């Protein structure tokens, strides 16, 4: 955190100054480790063992926050007798279909499971597996029975509490020592601190970044932390939570308003050709009718009204048929395979640099070289724009400039100070940026580009039916200035939504299912409340409470801590004075406190939903997790994940360690691409070391926004690999000299940094060496400093829930000296691939 989110880390240091104990779990020793109370080096790819052992510790010693667990989680819920755990089936859950390599999740359901959909339509079933469907459940769970059978004594053998306890029984401190390389005294110190700092009076927070997500079990890493935090009562409370530190200024925004294939704004599913028919059918199969997702029709219809305006009517399903349909995986890596195979002809790359920034860069570049046309928009000539002129495949002779048919348009972009608009930061906070000056030359904002491209395309549309969605699209944003820049505020107001009177809405609860409201992203409804750009609010922090509600605007409804109903006990009183945040004011008959309460403000804690209630009315006054169909935090996930209802430790796709827990070595549901452009490392001795990658404070991602800057280039001029003195001694690597890192995808050279910061770990009774590589370099990109592309080393193997690649744990070999050039580099790779 101190490396990659340094200014955010000041708050960790504030907490430490007030007595908080800080642990840093990371394969490498960083600036964070230097400032933490304790650094626990861990083998990359083994975190579920560590977190699972903490869960085991809590359950074995009954250290859970029982009142919280009983009231706010599904601990008491009884699960179907058809369910079988990985502990019963040697690493597989019940429902595994070996041939299809997917789960039928129906046996994971609560009891009584009621009427179940057919296997291929089940949430988290094969349809979701092939289209990253589980992604959408991040904003709220899939449907589950709102009032299933429970055992509040938590003793029923099939209640969630007992299932979780049995599941993690073998996740012991001994196993942590064997698999993670963390000694028992280190684990004991962590377990003691985490449990001692949880409960009524205290809370513990977990902070993670892509070190947890870029794995073939990435979503399950976060799930493991969720189970721990729910058991300890650390969700929805101040100082608690599981906090994702995201790496781009508005990566949260580009997920909420997604430039992602499988979702529409506000985490609504993109329709699927086989799963969904018309609007009614889509709504029927997408999630439950209880909890706030019970208002899904209002969210969808309002989005369709925002996009197709008067053309969207009740009679034509509000133009639901204008939405294109998915038929499977249309994600980033599959798109690249489509480029190589010739099905993808044209490609826009805007503010991203896949030629050096994506895993398996060679496949990316071969894809770019096979396009008809490519549009790159960026601040500098990034490698993605110049691959045809100076890419590494020219040096090896795999490509020749004059053979590459791709037509390339490079359009320079406006910088963040040359346009106005909002970034959504990692805490869901929208902050409006004022424009400082006009962009130079041909530089334009993305807003300008897409607005004018849309206008030019509309001129090219015909009366043909296929052109109707473009013809009928609302696309009339006011323009200003010499460049005819569209109004970003007008776009933000459309995102916010308007009511029947044409006035800006102030809350998503005002959205209607009948077409009388329009809203471009329901979770952002309220950002333009009262016709005021709420994201532009800048009341100084020192003039506000610590919550600072008048700085920017957080979705939803300006809430700063999600699910904060859980900061009060079931009766609505703060768990303790020390941790008071929101509470029920019986006198006024409403919720109040330091933040916007994350529940219906007038719903008393004693509210019991009547039979047959829908949407939020179906949740009790004690249910804090209001996006879930049952209002509960899920220790066990009865539906929605494609790789199991509980996290299990699987080794990374490429690992030097055999999984001692199960016969199942790696996540059986992981997504693989068996392609010659990007092969996998064979198991065994040829690739004996663990390779992990990371960022440095002085650079940003693949370097497009940092390598061209003189200050930053000087501070971190060169690609290096971090190795321990022991490994350096074994291999004959000299500090400051050169090393060559090899996987079956690529061969990369780097300066050697011999450092005690990389510690050899004893795993399964033998020493495992880890090699660390920052990934900020490329061959060009306007960089004042250049270097080999670390991302070229990575395999294309993905988490099956969200299709994120395993970039944090793989195997490699290391050789002293510089890498071979040209054809010789290919020959070396060939020897590693085939022995």
* Shortest distance, position 403 Cβ to other proteins, whole Å: 7
The answer to whether residue 238 forms part of the interface with other proteins (CB under 8 A) is no
Q: Of the two residues 329 and 643, which places its CB atom closer to other proteins in the complex?
A: 329
> Which are the contacts of 103, defined by CB distance < 8 A and separation ≥ 6?
93, 95, 96, 97, 124, 125, 129, 642, 643, 644, 669
* Shortest distance, position 222 Cβ to other proteins, whole Å: 14
The residues in 212-231 that bind other proteins, with binding defined as CB under 8 A, are none
The answer to whether residue 273 forms part of the interface with other proteins (CB under 8 A) is yes
* Shortest distance, position 639 Cβ to other proteins, whole Å: 23
**Helix 332-341 crosses helix 361-368 at what angle (to 10 degrees)?**
50
Q: Cβ of 711: how many Cβ atoms within 10 Å? A: 9
Q: Of the two residues 145 and 493, which places its CB atom closer to other proteins in the complex?
A: 493
The answer to whether residue 569 forms part of the interface with other proteins (CB under 8 A) is no
The residues in 71-110 that bind other proteins, with binding defined as CB under 8 A, are none
Which residue in the set 124, 258, 795, 800 belongs to the binding site for other proteins (CB under 8 A)? 258
The residues in 362-401 that bind other proteins, with binding defined as CB under 8 A, are 372-373, 375, 377-381, 385, 388-389, 401
Is residue 809 within 8 A of residue 213, CB to CB? The reply is: no
Is residue 419 within 8 A of residue 492, CB to CB? The reply is: no
Which residue in the set 34, 100, 196, 453 belongs to the binding site for other proteins (CB under 8 A)? 453
Measured between alpha carbons, how far is residue 454 from residues 60, 367, 450, 470, 606 in Å? 60, 26, 6, 8, 52
The answer to whether residue 418 forms part of the interface with other proteins (CB under 8 A) is yes
The residues in 7-36 that bind other proteins, with binding defined as CB under 8 A, are 7-8, 10
The answer to whether residue 417 forms part of the interface with other proteins (CB under 8 A) is yes
The residues in 806-835 that bind other proteins, with binding defined as CB under 8 A, are 807
* Shortest distance, position 619 Cβ to other proteins, whole Å: 29
Q: How far apart are CA 373 and CA 280, in angstroms?
A: 39
Q: How far apart are CA 499 and CA 508, in angstroms?
A: 11
Which ranges in 375-463 belong to alpha helices (H)?
383-390, 392-396, 446-459
* Shortest distance, position 197 Cβ to other proteins, whole Å: 24
Which residue in the set 61, 153, 155, 259 belongs to the binding site for other proteins (CB under 8 A)? 259
Binding mask 317-356 for other proteins (x = CB under 8 A): ----xxxxxxx--xxx--x--xx---xxxxxxxxxx-x--
The answer to whether residue 412 forms part of the interface with other proteins (CB under 8 A) is yes
Structure tokens at 415: 């910088």
The residues in 463-522 that bind other proteins, with binding defined as CB under 8 A, are 466, 469-470, 473, 475, 486, 488, 491-492, 494-495, 520-521
The answer to whether residue 243 forms part of the interface with other proteins (CB under 8 A) is no
The residues in 138-177 that bind other proteins, with binding defined as CB under 8 A, are none
Q: Of the two residues 463 and 501, which places its CB atom closer to other proteins in the complex?
A: 463
> Count H helices, E strands: the chain?
24, 28
* Shortest distance, position 485 Cβ to other proteins, whole Å: 11
The answer to whether residue 526 forms part of the interface with other proteins (CB under 8 A) is no
Is residue 800 within 8 A of residue 129, CB to CB? The reply is: yes
- Is the four-CA dihedral 269, 270, 276, 281 of positive or negative sign? positive
Is residue 393 within 8 A of residue 823, CB to CB? The reply is: no
The residues in 540-559 that bind other proteins, with binding defined as CB under 8 A, are 540-542, 544, 546, 548, 551
Which residue in the set 151, 189, 395, 446 belongs to the binding site for other proteins (CB under 8 A)? 446
Structure tokens at 342: 């010739």
Q: Of the two residues 105 and 218, which places its CB atom closer to other proteins in the complex?
A: 218
Binding-residue total with other proteins (CB under 8 A): 160
The answer to whether residue 282 forms part of the interface with other proteins (CB under 8 A) is no
Which residue in the set 452, 675, 686, 751 belongs to the binding site for other proteins (CB under 8 A)? 452
Q: How far apart are CA 354 and CA 338, in angstroms?
A: 15
Asked if the peptide bond before residue 112 counts as cis, ω within 30 degrees of 0, the response is yes
Q: Which stretch binds other proteins (CB under 8 A): 48-56, 423-431, 577-585, 587-595?
A: 423-431
The answer to whether residue 718 forms part of the interface with other proteins (CB under 8 A) is no
Provide the 8-state DSSP code for 682: P
Structure tokens at 534: 């709420």
Is residue 820 within 8 A of residue 747, CB to CB? The reply is: yes
Structure tokens at 271: 């329709």
Which residue in the set 239, 247, 593, 717 belongs to the binding site for other proteins (CB under 8 A)? 247
* Shortest distance, position 252 Cβ to other proteins, whole Å: 6
The answer to whether residue 309 forms part of the interface with other proteins (CB under 8 A) is no
CA atoms within 13 A on the CB side of 613: 17
Provide the 8-state DSSP code for 119: G
Which residue in the set 711, 765, 834, 835 belongs to the binding site for other proteins (CB under 8 A)? 711
Phi first, then psi: what are they for 616, rounded to 5°? -70, -25
DSSP 419-444: S-EEEE-TTSEEEEE---SPPPTT-B
Q: How far apart are CA 297 and CA 314, in angstroms?
A: 12
Q: Of the two residues 347 and 575, which places its CB atom closer to other proteins in the complex?
A: 347
Which residue in the set 441, 502, 587, 612 belongs to the binding site for other proteins (CB under 8 A)? 441
Q: How far apart are CA 170 and CA 152, in angstroms?
A: 25
Q: Of the two residues 72 and 137, which places its CB atom closer to other proteins in the complex?
A: 137
The answer to whether residue 208 forms part of the interface with other proteins (CB under 8 A) is no
* Shortest distance, position 540 Cβ to other proteins, whole Å: 4
Which residue in the set 69, 92, 257, 300 belongs to the binding site for other proteins (CB under 8 A)? 257
Measured between alpha carbons, how far is residue 386 from residues 332, 353, 461, 706 in Å? 20, 11, 32, 18
Q: Of the two residues 488 and 754, which places its CB atom closer to other proteins in the complex?
A: 488
Q: Of the two residues 156 and 377, which places its CB atom closer to other proteins in the complex?
A: 377
Is residue 318 within 8 A of residue 469, CB to CB? The reply is: no
Which residue in the set 307, 581, 673, 689 belongs to the binding site for other proteins (CB under 8 A)? 307
Which residue in the set 136, 220, 298, 431 belongs to the binding site for other proteins (CB under 8 A)? 431
The answer to whether residue 281 forms part of the interface with other proteins (CB under 8 A) is no
Name the 3-class secondary structure at 1.
coil
Q: How far apart are CA 448 and CA 450, in angstroms?
A: 6
- Is the four-CA dihedral 775, 780, 783, 787 of positive or negative sign? positive
* Shortest distance, position 141 Cβ to other proteins, whole Å: 20
Structure tokens at 576: 């303790």
The answer to whether residue 254 forms part of the interface with other proteins (CB under 8 A) is yes
DSSP 469-538: HHHTS-----EETTTTEE-HHHHHHHHH-B-TTSPBPS-GGG--TTSS-B-S-GGGTTTTGGGS-GGG-B
* Shortest distance, position 628 Cβ to other proteins, whole Å: 23
The answer to whether residue 261 forms part of the interface with other proteins (CB under 8 A) is yes
Is residue 486 within 8 A of residue 451, CB to CB? The reply is: yes
Q: Give one word for 343, left, alpha or beta, with left for phi > 0 and alpha for psi -120 to 50.
A: alpha
The residues in 767-806 that bind other proteins, with binding defined as CB under 8 A, are 782, 784, 802-805
Q: Of the two residues 329 and 569, which places its CB atom closer to other proteins in the complex?
A: 329
Binding mask 666-705 for other proteins (x = CB under 8 A): -------------------------------xxxxx---x
């Amino acid at each position: 955190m101190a490396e990659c989110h340094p200014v955010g880390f000041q708050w960790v240091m504030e907490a430490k100054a007030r007595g908080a104990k800080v642990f840093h779990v990371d394969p490498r020793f960083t600036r964070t480790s230097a400032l933490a109370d304790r650094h626990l080096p861990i083998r990359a790819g083994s975190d579920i063992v560590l977190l699972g052992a903490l869960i085991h510790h809590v359950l074995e010693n009954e250290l859970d926050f029982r009142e919280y667990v009983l009231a706010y989680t599904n601990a008491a819920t009884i699960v179907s007798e058809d369910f079988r755990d990985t502990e019963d089936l040697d690493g597989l859950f019940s429902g595994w279909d070996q041939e299809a390599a997917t789960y039928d999740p129906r046996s994971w359901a609560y009891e009584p499971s009621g009427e179940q959909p057919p296997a291929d339509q089940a949430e988290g079933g094969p349809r979701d597996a092939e289209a990253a469907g589980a992604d959408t459940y991040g904003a709220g769970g899939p449907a589950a029975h709102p009032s299933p059978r429970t055992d509040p004594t938590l003793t029923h053998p099939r209640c969630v509490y007992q299932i979780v306890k049995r599941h993690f029984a073998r996740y012991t401190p001994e196993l942590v020592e064997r698999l993670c390389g963390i000694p028992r005294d280190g684990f004991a110190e962590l377990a003691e601190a985490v449990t001692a700092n949880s409960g009524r009076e205290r809370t513990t927070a977990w902070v993670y970044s892509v070190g947890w997500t870029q794995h073939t079990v990435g979503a399950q890493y976060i799930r493991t932390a969720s189970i721990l935090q729910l058991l300890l009562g650390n969700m929805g409370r101040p100082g608690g939570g599981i906090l994702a530190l995201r790496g781009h200024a508005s990566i949260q925004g580009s997920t909420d308003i997604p430039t992602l294939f499988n979702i529409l704004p506000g985490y609504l599913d993109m329709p699927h050709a086989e799963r969904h028919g018309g609007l009614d059918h889509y709504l029927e199969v997408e999630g439950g009718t209880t909890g706030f997702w019970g208002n899904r029709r209002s969210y969808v219809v309002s989005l369709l009204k925002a996009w197709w305006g008067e053309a969207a009517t009740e009679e034509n399903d509000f133009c639901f048929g204008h939405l294109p349909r998915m038929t499977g995986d249309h994600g980033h890596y599959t798109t690249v395979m489509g480029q190589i195979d010739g099905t993808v002809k044209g490609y826009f790359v805007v503010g991203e640099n896949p030629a050096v920034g994506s895993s398996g860069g060679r496949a990316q570049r071969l894809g770019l070289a096979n396009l008809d046309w490519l549009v790159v928009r960026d601040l500098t000539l990034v490698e993605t724009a110049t691959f045809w002129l100076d890419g590494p495949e020219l040096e090896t002779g795999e490509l020749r400039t004059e053979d590459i048919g791709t037509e390339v348009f490079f359009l320079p972009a406006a910088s963040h100070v040359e346009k106005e608009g909002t970034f959504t930061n990692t805490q869901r906070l929208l902050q409006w940026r004022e424009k400082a000056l006009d962009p130079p030359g041909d530089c334009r904002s993305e807003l300008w580009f897409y607005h004018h491209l849309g206008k030019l395309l509309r001129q090219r549309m015909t009366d043909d039916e296929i052109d109707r969605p473009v013809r009928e699209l609302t696309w009339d944003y006011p323009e200003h200035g010499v460049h005819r820049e569209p109004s970003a505020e007008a776009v933000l107001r459309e995102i916010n939504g308007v009511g029947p009177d044409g006035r800006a809405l102030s809350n998503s609860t005002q959205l209607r299912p009948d077409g009388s409201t329009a809203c471009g992203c329901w979770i952002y409804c309220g950002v333009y409340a009262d016709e005021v750009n709420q994201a532009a609010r800048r009341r100084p922090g020192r003039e506000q409470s610590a919550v600072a509600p008048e700085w920017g605007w957080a979705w939803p409804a300006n809430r700063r801590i999600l699910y904060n109903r859980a900061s009060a006990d079931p009766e609505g009183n703060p768990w303790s004075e020390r941790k008071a945040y929101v509470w029920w004011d019986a006198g006024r008959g409403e919720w109040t406190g330091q933040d916007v309460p994350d529940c219906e403000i007038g719903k008393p804690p004693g509210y019991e939903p009547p039979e047959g209630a829908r949407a939020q009315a179906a949740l009790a006054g004690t249910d804090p997790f209001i996006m879930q169909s049952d209002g509960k935090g899920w220790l066990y996930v009865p539906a929605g994940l494609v790789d199991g209802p509980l996290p299990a430790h699987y080794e990374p796709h490429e690992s030097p360690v055999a999984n001692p827990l199960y016969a199942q070595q790696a996540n059986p549901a992981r997504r693989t691409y068996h392609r010659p452009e990007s092969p996998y490392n064979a198991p065994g001795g040829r690739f004996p070391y663990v390779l992990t990658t990371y960022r440095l404070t002085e650079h940003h991602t693949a370097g497009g926004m940092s390598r061209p800057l003189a200050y930053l280039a000087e501070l971190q001029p060169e690609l290096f690999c971090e190795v321990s003195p022991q490994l350096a001694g074994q291999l004959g690597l000299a500090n400051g000299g050169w090393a060559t890192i090899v996987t079956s995808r690529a061969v990369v050279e780097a300066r050697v940094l011999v450092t005690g910061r990389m510690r050899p770990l004893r795993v399964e009774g033998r020493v495992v060496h880890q090699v660390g590589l920052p990934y900020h370099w490329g061959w060009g990109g306007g960089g004042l400093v250049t270097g080999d592309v670390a991302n070229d080393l990575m395999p294309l193997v993905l988490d099956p829930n969200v299709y994120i690649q395993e970039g944090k744990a793989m195997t490699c070999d290391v050789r002293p000296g510089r890498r071979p050039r040209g054809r010789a580099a290919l020959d070396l790779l060939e020897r590693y691939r085939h022995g």
